Structure formats: C-alpha cells, structure tokens
Structure 1
Amino acid sequence: MAHEHAHHDHSISPDADRRWLITALSLIVAFMVGEVIVGLIAESLALLSDAAHMLTDAAAIVLALVAMRLAARPAKGNFTFGLRRVEILSAQVNGITLWVLAAVFVIEAIDRFRNPPDVAGGLVLATAVVGIGVNALATWAISRADRRSLNVEGAFQHLLNDLFAFVATAVAGAIVLFTGWARADAVATLLVAVSMAYAGWGLLRDSWRVFLEAAPRGLDVARIDSDLHAVDGVVDVHDLHVWEVTSGFPNLSAHLLLARDQDCHARREEIAALLAERYGIRHTTLQVDHAQERLIDPADLRSGAAREASPH
C-alpha cells in the first residue's frame, strides 16, 4: 500500500487572519456599547436587536480566534489531525446562535407590531447611519481574512447580517421620523430576523456536511471516479472516499487495481498529481495493486462456500 500526504495551507497566513479578526472585534465592541445606550433612550427594538446581534458578532469573532488558535496546534497522540475540526464546531455554534436570535427577535417584533412604543426616529436614524459605517469597516476587515475557513465565514456572516440590519434600521428610523409610523421598527426587525435565519442555515448545512464526512461542496465524486478509471492501466477502482477534515482540507482514499504490466509506483504518483491539479486534493491515501494480486475478501469466501453448500 502506498500513501501520498500533503498538508493544506491557505493563501492568507493565520497571523494575518487573526489581525483582521481583532481589528473587526475592536470596531464592533466600541460601537456596541454606545448603541445599547441610544437604543434604550430611543426605545427602539431595532437598535437593541442590532446591539444584541453585535454582541453575538463579538462573541463569534472571539470564538473564531480561539478556534483558530486551537486548530493551529500540531497533531499529536490520538489527535492525528490535531484540533482542526474545532473550526467547524465554531461555525456550527455561530449558525445555531443566528437561529436563536432570529426566533427571539421575531417573537418580540410581533409583540411590538401589536403594541408599538413611541420610537425616537431621529436617534434611530442617526445611530443606524453610524452603525452602517462601522459595520462596513468591520465586514471589510473580516473579508480580508481567509473565508474558505467555515470558522472565519461564520464570523463574516454575523457581521454581514448586522450590516443588513443597520440598513433596515436606518430605513425604519427614517419612516418613523418622517411619517410617525412606529411599526416600521418592528418590520425592520422581522426582515433582519429572516436574514439571520438564512445565514444560520448556510453555516449549519456546510458544517454538518463536514461532520457527516460528505464530499466537499463543488467536488463531483462520480466525475473523480470516472477520471480515475480513465487513467491508462487502471482496471478498476474500489473504496473511493472523499471527505473534509476541516474546511479547505479535502481528503481522498481509494483502492486501485492495475493491469499486470503497469508500474504501481509510477501510476500512484501520476494519479496523486492528477487529483491535486484537477481537484485540489493534495492529501491522498492510495492503495495500488495489480489486478491479479488482489487479496480475496473473506466475505467472498463465505458467500462462495454458502453457494456450494446450498442444494441445486
């Protein structure tokens, strides 16, 4: 059996990722404190929901930083891949948090739609406009990090949804200020909740794909199988598995049977190069044998003995 191993890396260094995340965190925390104060004064649910979302933004970034640190630890002992999947746990926590917040805001928005309070539209509008600027900077900062990581993507989705929330809040504040229709605040909150739920679903879906060891999104296993069969000298392909250890770290294992005149070592190197170039899979475990040398599966022996023993 032959093995071809390579470690995945990102085009952006982990240190650079951390710097961008810390920059976004600083912006978020500084603005969040002021928004809570203004939200209470203005009696705006939209502002308070934005502030609560910003708190989860900050928590998501802190979680991403912790996960990044843990994932960077070298593999040792029984953790043969290290703690790389901590990043996926972080993404899943972010997705669940977005869903919980969406549910809370929907319930509260419905109540406020029925019994709208007096909302200070001017304060809401001014705060939301400042929030758009702060969130745009924070979102841009995280977008500079490596978003192939579901961990970073989770934090990015939190901030992006908060940016949408501030835009909706600014519109609601303007409506309240110029028309006096206080229910606009609750409508804006409902729109933000829908956006949160959608982003949360995307994170949960992608993280569960990793945990269930499905093939990475964008990789067609049937096409990979076909390409392996098309390699000169390959007679058959068995036990083909494609999965991700963590985001951006695809793995493949397979058992390939070659014709008798083929060089197993040369073909293994050729197939490993093909997988790396065509599909970006650089961590492969390939068992390459000549077709006539294939070991007999004990299950085949048992089934054959059963056939011989059965009456005809």
Structure 2
Amino acid sequence: MVGSPLHFGHGQNDRHHHQQAVTAGNERRIRLVFFFTASYALIQAVGGWLSGSLALIADSGHMASDAAVLLLALMAYRIARRPADSTRTYGFHRVRVLAALVNGAALLLLVAWIIWEAIGRIYVPVAVLAEPMLIVAVIGLGVNIAGAWVLWSGNRTDGNLRGAWLHVVGDLLGSIGAIAAAIGIMLTGWSILDPLLSVLVALLIVRSAWSLVRESIHILLQVVPHGVDVRAVEESLARLPGIEEAGHFHAWVLADETIIATVHVSPVREVDPFSLPSLVSSWLWEHYAIDHVTVQVDPPGQLDRAHQ
C-alpha cells in the first residue's frame, strides 16, 4: 500500500441512493389541513365583519397566513419529488428543509405581531362582542383539533410536516385563548382579557418555532447530527480490526433523518484495503444509523502526516 494512490469506496451494505421518498400520505394530510384552514379563515372573516369584531378579523388574517404557509409546504413536496439530475445529485429534498425554515420564521414573525397588537390593545382597549367571538372560536377549535390530529398521524420526522403541525397547534392554542377570553369578557366585561391571553398563546408558540428554525439552520449549515461525537467516532473506528488509523470524519443531515458521512482510514499492513469500506459502513450504520458512508482508504502513516 505504501506509495500507492488513494483508494475510495462505499460500504457494500450502503443503504442510501441519493434519493428519498416524499411521503404521499404527508402531502395528502397537509393538503386536507390547507382546505380546513383556508375555509375557516373565510368563515372567521365573515363572522368578524357581521359582528364588528376586530379580534376575529385579525385572527382571520392569522389563519390566512397559515393557509399560505401550508400552501408553501405543498409546493415544497411537489418540488422535492423531482428526481436527482447531473447538477443536483442529491435531488431536491432540501427544499423541504427550506420550507420548514420559512415556516418557523413565519411563526416567529406572527408571535411578534401578536405581541405588538396586544400591547396596543392594552393601552387602547378595543370593544369585543363576546357572544359571536365565542361561537366562531368554538368552531375554530373543532377545525384546528381535526387538522392537528390529521398532521400528527403522519411522519413526524418530516420537518416540513412538523412545521405545518406547529402552525395548526398555534391556531388551536389561539382558539382556546379566544374561547377563554370570550367567556371571561362575558362574565366580567374586561375586554383586556383578549390581548393578555393573546400574549400567553404567543409565548407558548415561541419555543417550538425557534426549535424548528434552529434545526433547519443546522441542517443547511451541515452541522454534525445530534448524538454524533466526531472524535469518539474516529477513535472507535481506529480500534476496529484491520484499521490502523481513522480521521477526517464528517457527518451531516441531508433531510429529515438521513445522515451522510465521509471518513479516511488506513489499513493495518497486509490487510486488504478493499475490505475496509464495508467494515466501516456496517459499524457506522449499527452505532449511528448513518445511511450513506464514503470511505477513503489511505496508505499507512499518511493520516498521521496530514495531522502534523
């Protein structure tokens, strides 16, 4: 091996073929919830106009924005279904990650808008007709419970679906808050309950929205997946039979839970170097569920020199 050219290879049990199946069930679920959300936004807008409730009209805008985000998620699924080509060899699946990032960012913007509006209403109270508000909010709660259940029954490792689910959960919490505010206003006449509960709901949304944004950014920046310790992997690989050295390990998430990795190894002298890719690939799948591994086999001693 000494002085020979570098060898490249993939493990024989490699489970990844640069394509991921776009789950038709997830797409169907988002399509159904999109129609739920868009229809209820229209009902809420009409109800707000007939009752003169600014709160309902504002929330209908919230629902309309969520419907637009769900439509974006549907478009992402359609794009992700396109096959890989010579310039996009991994396909279009990261479009779903971009859609999840937009979903999370939209939620954070929505939270900021809710808090801004709530502060304004605390200083300048807005009259709220509690009875029609309660009726429309109860209808909305039913619609959002149905939508959340439809999405929850899908594949929750799909960031795109998760982003849509978080939007619906935000709507569901908003409906609960609106019901509580309507009942409170009916019993006490305190219209300030509406903005106060709106702030509470917004704060409940922040954590999930930020988590979605952070995870999407980590995938796009090719951050090492959670639970994978680069140094520990290299040390463990170096202890496998037939391997003298291991280094230059890199791992990142393609989309959802599909992990890709590359690593350099050097064989023990007189060990067949072509046996190492399969060995390394099997070990990484068994311990870290890494789908796709590219192994570069270097001459003995070359990795040590590279680190000097």
TM-score by length of 1: 0.87
Deviations 1:219-272 (A, max 9, x none): 333443333233123222121101112222211000011211323222321221
Specify the SS of the correspondent of 1:252. strand
Letter in 2 for 1:191: L
Structure 1 residues 176-195: aligned runs within 5 Å: 176-195=185-204
RMSD of the TM alignment (CA)? Answer: 2.3
In structure 2, the partner of 1:23 is 32
Alpha-carbon distance between aligned partners in 2 of 1:169 and 1:227, rounded to the nearest angstrom: 55
Shift of 1:295: 10
Change (3 A) 1:294 1:184: closer
Could you tell me which of 198, 204, 208 is aligned with 2:207? Answer: 198
Contact kept? 1:38, 1:127, Cα under 8 Å: yes
Structure 1 residues 254-265: aligned runs within 5 Å: 254-265=263-274
In structure 2, the partner of 1:153 is 162
Shift of 1:52: 2.5
Structure 1 residues 93-112: aligned runs within 5 Å: 93-112=102-121
In structure 1, the partner of 2:9 is 2
Shift of 1:8: 7.1
Specify the SS of the correspondent of 1:18. helix
Letter in 1 for 2:17: H
In structure 2, the partner of 1:278 is 287
Residue 308 of structure 2 corresponds to residue 287 of structure 1: no
Could you tell me which of 252, 262, 274 is aligned with 1:243? Answer: 252
Letter in 2 for 1:291: P
In structure 1, the partner of 2:3 is none
- Structure 1 window deviating more from structure 2 (94-103 vs 263-272): it is 263-272
Contact kept? 2:268, 2:300, Cα under 8 Å: yes
Which 5+ residue runs of structure 1 have no aligned equivalent? 301-312
Residue 45 of structure 2 corresponds to residue 36 of structure 1: yes
Letter in 2 for 1:159: V
Contact kept? 2:234, 2:247, Cα under 8 Å: no
Shift of 1:203: 1.7
Structure 1 residues 49-128: aligned runs within 5 Å: 49-128=58-137
Alpha-carbon distance between aligned partners in 2 of 1:137 and 1:17, rounded to the nearest angstrom: 15
Deviations 1:164-205 (A, max 9, x none): 111111111110111111011111221222233333211211
In structure 1, the partner of 2:141 is 132
Change (3 A) 1:201 1:211: same
Deviations 1:274-294 (A, max 9, x none): 212221111111112341576
Residue 179 of structure 2 corresponds to residue 173 of structure 1: no
Deviations 1:22-57 (A, max 9, x none): 111121122111112223444545434432232222
Alpha-carbon distance between aligned partners in 1 of 2:168 and 2:128, rounded to the nearest angstrom: 25
TM-score by length of 2: 0.88
Shift of 1:158: 0.7
Change (3 A) 1:160 1:223: farther
Change (3 A) 1:294 1:76: same
Which 5+ residue runs of structure 2 have no aligned equivalent? 1-7
User: How many residues were matched structurally?
Assistant: 298
Change (3 A) 1:167 1:222: farther
Alpha-carbon distance between aligned partners in 1 of 2:41 and 2:61, rounded to the nearest angstrom: 8
Contact kept? 1:240, 1:252, Cα under 8 Å: yes
Shift of 1:113: 1.0
Specify the SS of the correspondent of 1:87. helix
Residue 235 of structure 2 corresponds to residue 226 of structure 1: yes
